[in-house]
Amino acid sequence: MTDVRAALKQGLALLREAHVPSFTLAAELLLLHVLGRDRTWLYAHPEEQVSSADAEVFFALIARRANGEPTQHLTGKQEFWGLEFEVSPDVLIPRPETEHLIEVALDRLAIGELRAGRKKTLTGEGLQIADIGTGSGCIAIALARELPGATIYATDISTAALAVARRNATRHSVSDRVHFRECNVLHALSDSPLATRHSSLLLDLIASNPPYIGRREAATLMREVRDHEPEVALYGGEEGYELYAGLVTQAAAHLKPGGILVLELGHNSLPAVQPLLDAPTWTNIAVTNDLAGIPRILAAERT
């Protein structure tokens, strides 16, 4: 038997020795996961006993974390947009910078509504939205939660990722409005029942956080990312930005006039991607930086 304070102290010392980034937070999250408690409880009960069985599980997780497995793979969850998402080695762990994509998408939709002289509360009534490369489903599901009147199509090339995304949609009660399709970029949308009725499915918004790391950068990645997150979610090609051209072409074909495209960018993708948004097809182009000052979100409107 040990107590909470001692277990935590020993756990974080082991992670620090193994040069794990944010080792205190990682040790806390793993202990909370094992004990089934929240953070407030942890600091209010430093003397609470930890059973031998719980301590054994905790130190086994600490050893795996010290060996490079991401904390989120050990706890099976990550928060995004205030919602808890199931994650596994089959999906990219949602990143905080992707929340900027949601902010930009919602801002653009709100501006569109105001321009059209409609109400100030954005419900997304009647909107058709696509999320390309949905992974855990975090973008599609966050948008579905924010826009209760919208229908969302979420695509991914990975069967295993889509299984996780579907469970997340059920967990957040949006599975009736988020339709998952296994396909390359947006190809399956041309075969959707809606598309056959109206010749093609025209969308109000397309959002995507595509794989954008260059294979030539692989050696510079943290081991947690390089060795544990799915390659198909990380690498966009040798340079990293190779998937954007096809994505922009398909977005131009699937967006309504006035429809919005919102893309997440890699740290050095902007010079390669911005020129793809040529006039006269695209207008109102804007770049949003993330908190580190990196150009992270590129948004544009279909003319």
Ligand X SMILES: C[S@@+](CC[C@H](N)C(=O)[O-])C[C@H]1O[C@@H](n2cnc3c(N)ncnc32)[C@H](O)[C@@H]1O
Q: Which is nearer to ligand X, 84 or 125 (CB)?
A: 84
| Candidate residues 78, 98, 250, 269; the one interacting with ligand X per rule CB under 6 A | 98
| Candidate residues 184, 196, 200, 289; the one interacting with ligand X per rule CB under 6 A | 184
The least distance separating ligand X from the CB of residue 229, rounded to whole angstroms, comes to 9
Q: Is 94 in the site for ligand X (CB under 6 A)?
A: yes
What type of residue is 48?
A: E
Q: In the numeric block, which tokens belong to residue 61?
A: 């997780």
Q: Is 211 in the site for ligand X (CB under 6 A)?
A: yes
Q: Is 34 in the site for ligand X (CB under 6 A)?
A: no
Name the strands in the sheet holding 151-156, side by side, starting at the edge strand that comes first in the sequence. 178-182, 151-156, 128-132, 203-208, 255-264, 295-302, 282-289
Q: Is 188 in the site for ligand X (CB under 6 A)?
A: no
Task: List the one residue out of 68, 104, 72, 103 whose CA is nearest residue 89.
Answer: 72
Q: Is 269 in the site for ligand X (CB under 6 A)?
A: no
What type of residue is 153?
A: Y
Q: Which is nearer to ligand X, 31 or 139 (CB)?
A: 139
Among residue numbers 110 through 149, which ones bind ligand X (CB under 6 A)?
Answer: 132-136, 138-139
d(CA 12, CA 4): 12
Q: Is 151 in the site for ligand X (CB under 6 A)?
A: no
| Exposure class string for 61-100: b at 16+ Cβ within 10 A, else e | bbeebbeebbbbbbbebbebbeeebbbbebbbbbeebbbb
Which residues form the interface with ligand X (CB under 6 A)? 92, 94, 98, 132-136, 138-139, 155-158, 161, 184-185, 209-211, 232-233
